[in-house]
């Protein structure tokens, strides 16, 4: 390699180092924006409803599992609540609890919470009817051709753990999945409704129950 070529590459190398340093500084700044104390306080607050280790909670109404969920999906859902594109008015008081929770969170805190919950992987709560799990697996793997319902696995993955903005379904609460699929068009207004609404509408009540039973049994 001659001197002229080395000299021509030097500015590129300097820029690469500069960008790398800037990226690290940006990451460090974002991490510093959320203290461990503040993050833990928010985690504890979330788990009062979403259960220990964010496994979900089945009470008056089902509160979804966050453990193992995709970071991007959690971030998008929180932003949906904040922007009032989503609502969780199934609560007794019909109050949009998640708007009240989400709108006070910084972007850095939202990312920190999403990352924390993504890294958890406790066993599912269970409780779904086992008799329909096999039927649910068939629908998840193959879809329902007669109703133009594609295989759930084609988007959510063979292990139902999702990817990026596509949510993890593995281990999700059985009654929560049933509720979401049953009332999809009524509750949601975000972009992926264009995909999920017709799919949900193509499933019968028995098929919804079967798919929900199957995914809720997965770890």
pLDDT, tens digit, for every residue of 109-130? 999 999 999 999 999 999 999 9
Tokens for 57, please give them. Answer: 């909670």
Tokens for 25, please give them. Answer: 């500084």
pTM here is 0.80
Domain segments of the chain as ranges: 1-32, 36-118, 130-216
Rounded-to-10 torsion of CA 49, 209, 178, 136? 80
Contact 207, 144 (CB under 8 A): yes
Residue with tokens 């500069």: 18
Instruction: Characterize 106-128 residue by residue with b for buried, 16 or more Cβ atoms within 10 angstroms of its Cβ, and e for exposed.
Output: eebbbbbbbebbbeeebebbeeb
Looking at residue 96, what DSSP letter applies? Answer: -
Q: Do the domains 130-216 and 36-118 match in fold?
A: yes
Q: What is 77-101 written as a DSSP string?
A: HHHHHHTTSB--TTSTT---HHHHH
Classify domain 130-216 at the CATH topology level: Cytochrome Bc1 Complex; Chain D, domain 2 (1.10.760)
Contact 165, 76 (CB under 8 A): yes
How big is the CA angle at 201 (ends 196 and 206), to the nearest 5 degrees? 115
C-alpha Rg value of the chain to the nearest Å? 21
CATH top-level class of 36-118: mainly alpha
Cβ contacts of 219 within 8 Å, gap of 6 or more: 121, 123, 124, 170, 171
Between the two ends of the chain, the Cα-to-Cα distance in Å is: 55
pLDDT digits (tens, 9 = 90+) for 40-97: 999 999 999 999 999 999 988 899 999 999 999 999 999 988 988 877 655 555 457 8
- Report the pLDDT value the prediction gives residue 97, as an integer from 0 to 100: 86
pLDDT digits (tens, 9 = 90+) for 23-38: 444 444 554 589 999 9
CA 14 centroid distance within chain: 39
Q: Per DSSP, which regions of the chain are E strands?
A: 57-58, 62-63
């Amino acid at each position: 390699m001659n001197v002229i070529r080395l000299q021509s590459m030097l500015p590129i190398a300097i820029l690469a180092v500069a960008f790398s340093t800037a990226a690290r500084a940006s990451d460090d700044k974002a991490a510093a924006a959320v203290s461990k104390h503040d993050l833990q306080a928010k985690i504890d607050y979330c788990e009062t409803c979403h259960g220990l280790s964010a496994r979900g909670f089945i009470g008056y109404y089902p509160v979804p599992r966050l453990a193992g969920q995709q970071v991007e999906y959690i971030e998008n859902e929180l932003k949906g609540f904040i922007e009032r594109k989503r609502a969780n008015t199934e609560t007794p008081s019909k109050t949009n609890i998640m708007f009240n929770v989400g709108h006070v969170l910084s972007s850095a805190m939202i990312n920190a919470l999403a990352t924390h919950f993504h890294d958890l992987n406790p066993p599912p709560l269970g409780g779904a009817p086992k008799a329909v799990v096999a039927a649910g697996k068939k629908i998840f793997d193959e879809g329902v051709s007669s109703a133009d319902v594609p295989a759930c696995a084609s988007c959510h993955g063979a292990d139902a753990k999702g990817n990026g903005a596509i949510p993890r379904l593995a281990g999700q609460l059985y009654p929560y999945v049933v509720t979401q699929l049953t009332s999809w068009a009524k509750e949601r207004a975000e972009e992926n409704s264009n995909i999920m609404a017709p799919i949900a509408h193509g499933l019968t009540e028995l098929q919804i129950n079967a798919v929900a039973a199957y995914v809720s049994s997965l770890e």
